[in-house]
């Protein structure tokens, strides 16, 4: 039992001012009232409270008994028993807890202490930003270790030899490049044959037609036409074709220049349009080099073909055709062509070209007979006017 000193025994001159004096019973308002029986004392300024000390030490200092109270055994009131210590959680309260993907595919709650922290970022701002985005994710797989450097010269030579391509690989690469080159060359050749030869042939045929027209305007009348010399124009209104006719069937001088060649060689000499009777036979390319006879297979009986010379217009009417015959069949060029259906002499027209298209295996033959012979002074024939 703790003894408490009566309020009237408090001596403000000798006893120190305890902390929290404003709540002490000695400073209550009723204790500050003047007492008639108590002797009047001089007011003393309160002492400045000392710094906070241990509660037990303060209690011993505040309630240390004076000389008159040594006989009293004063002890502080017993403290309530301290509660049993609580075991701290495995995860510190200060460590944040958040879901982290586990190795088994589930999401487990782990603290920041269990999650490995990413390595410090030492790069620029972009690297720090990428590192901040990647925090909390699983760390990237470590980079593969560099290949071991050979320690001896023999090992270095073996490693260099292993890195070289084998003979089969080199051979396949060479063959592949050869095929690619061959393909490019063939593509260029096809482009030249199907496009550029036509461009050049049209230019040369146009120049030859202008020269023929100029010779007629100048009044030149040659006695004989040299091989490769143009002397007439052929009109095929149905096919919208106007092409110059030159003497001979030479490929280099006549046919490859986009012109129509007149058979006038030894053994294959045919008549001229102005002859009273005979077979005026001509040839031209069906494909490439201007291809003036490409569509003569579309000519039907009754279609007109006009041969224009310096003196007259000769109009022929298509009568028949032979779709295919060997190149050696020269009987189609006779004065009375074999297979044409003509049985007696007359003034005939024979058109020859290669077939099938893009080949020279066979020949395509188209025949016609003259139906009109008109001098230039009478104007163009009806076939050209219409």
Catalytic position from the list 235, 262, 289, 363: 363
Percentage, residues of the chain above pLDDT 90: 48
Catalytic position from the list 262, 286, 347, 354: 354
CA proximity to 207, closest of 258, 264, 268, 167: 258
Give per-residue pLDDT as tens, 194-213.
899 999 999 999 999 999 99
pLDDT for the residue 84: 56
Q: Do the Cβ atoms of 33 and 8 come closer than 8 Å?
A: no
Domain ranges of the chain: 1-30+52-65, 204-385
pLDDT for the residue 159: 81
Given a cut of 80, is residue 134 above it in pLDDT? Answer: no
- What number is the average pLDDT over the span 93-119? 51
Given a cut of 90, is residue 6 above it in pLDDT? Answer: no
User: Helices (DSSP H) in 10-89: which residue ranges?
Assistant: 55-62
The highest-confidence range among 77-81, 215-219, 362-366, by mean pLDDT, is 362-366
Where does the pLDDT of residue 119 fall: very low under 50, low under 70, confident under 90, or very high at 90 and above? low
- What number is the average pLDDT over the span 215-238? 90
Q: Do the Cβ atoms of 349 and 368 come closer than 8 Å?
A: yes
Which element (helix H / strand E) includes 176? helix 167-191
* Concatenated DSSP letters of 147-168: PPPPSSHHHHHHHHHHHSPPHH
Give the 3-state secondary structure of residue 353: strand
Where does the pLDDT of residue 69 fall: very low under 50, low under 70, confident under 90, or very high at 90 and above? very low
363 vs 358: CA distance, rounded Å: 12
For the whole prediction, is pTM greater than 0.85? Answer: no
* Concatenated DSSP letters of 266-319: TT-----TTSSSEEEEEE--SSSTT-TTTTGGG--TT-EEEEE-SSEEEEEEEE
In CATH terms, is domain 204-385 a member of 3.40.50.2000? no
Give per-residue pLDDT as tens, 18-47.
544 444 444 444 444 444 454 555 555 555
Residue 367 CB coordination number (10 Å): 23
pLDDT for the residue 279: 97
117 vs 93: CA distance, rounded Å: 19
Q: Is 354 a catalytic residue?
A: yes
Give the HSE-up count for residue 348: Cα atoms under 13 Å, Cβ half-sphere.
26
Q: Dihedral angle at the C-alpha atoms of 250, 254, 259, 265, nearest 10 degrees?
A: -40
Total length of the chain: 386
Residue 109 or 259, more confident: 259
Q: Is 220 a catalytic residue?
A: no
CA proximity to 325, closest of 367, 374, 273: 367
CA distances from residue 73 to 6, 56, 67, 88 in whole angstroms, order as listed: 16, 16, 13, 42
Catalytic position from the list 235, 262, 285, 347: 285
Q: Is 200 a catalytic residue?
A: no
100 vs 107: CA distance, rounded Å: 6
Q: Which residues contact 96 (CB under 8 A, 6 or more apart)?
A: 111, 112
Least confident of 51-55, 69-73, 304-308: 69-73
292 vs 234: CA distance, rounded Å: 10
């Amino acid at each position: 039992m703790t003894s408490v000193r009566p309020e009237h025994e408090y001596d403000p001159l000798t006893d120190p001012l305890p902390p929290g004096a404003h709540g002490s019973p000695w400073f209550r308002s009723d204790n500050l009232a003047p007492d008639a029986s108590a002797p009047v004392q001089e007011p003393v300024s309160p002492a400045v409270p000392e710094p906070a000390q241990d509660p037990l030490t303060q209690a011993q200092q505040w309630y240390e008994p004076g000389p008159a109270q040594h006989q009293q055994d004063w002890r502080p009131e017993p403290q309530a028993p301290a509660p049993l210590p609580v075991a701290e959680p495995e995860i510190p309260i200060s460590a944040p807890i958040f879901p982290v993907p586990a190795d088994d595919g589930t999401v487990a709650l782990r603290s920041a202490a269990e999650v490995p922290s990413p390595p410090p970022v030492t790069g620029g701002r972009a690297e720090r930003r990428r590192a901040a985005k990647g925090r909390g994710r699983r760390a990237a797989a470590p980079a593969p270790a560099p290949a071991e450097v050979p320690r001896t010269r023999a090992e270095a030579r073996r490693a260099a030899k292993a890195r070289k391509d084998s003979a089969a690989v080199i051979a396949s690469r060479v063959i592949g490049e050869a095929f690619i080159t061959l393909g490019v060359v063939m593509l260029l050749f096809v482009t030249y044959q199907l496009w550029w030869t036509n461009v050049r042939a049209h230019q040369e045929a146009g120049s030859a037609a202008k020269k023929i027209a100029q010779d007629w305007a100048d009044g030149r009348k040659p006695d004989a036409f040299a091989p490769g010399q143009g002397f007439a124009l052929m009109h095929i209104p149905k096919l919208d074709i106007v092409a110059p006719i030159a003497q001979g069937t030479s490929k280099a001088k006549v046919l490859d220049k986009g012109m129509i060649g007149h058979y006038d060689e030894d053994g294959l000499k045919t008549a001229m349009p102005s002859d009273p009777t005979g077979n005026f036979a001509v040839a031209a390319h069906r494909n490439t080099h201007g291809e003036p006879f490409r569509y003569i297979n579309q000519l039907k009986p009754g279609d007109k073909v006009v041969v224009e010379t310096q003196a007259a217009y000769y109009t022929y009417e298509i009568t028949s055709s032979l779709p295919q015959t060997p190149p050696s069949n020269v009987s189609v060029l006779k004065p009375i062509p074999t297979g044409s259906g003509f049985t007696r002499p007359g003034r005939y027209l024979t058109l020859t070209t290669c077939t099938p298209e893009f080949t020279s295996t066979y020949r395509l033959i188209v025949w016609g007979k003259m139906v009109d012979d008109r001098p230039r002074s009478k104007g163009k024939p009806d076939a050209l006017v219409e």
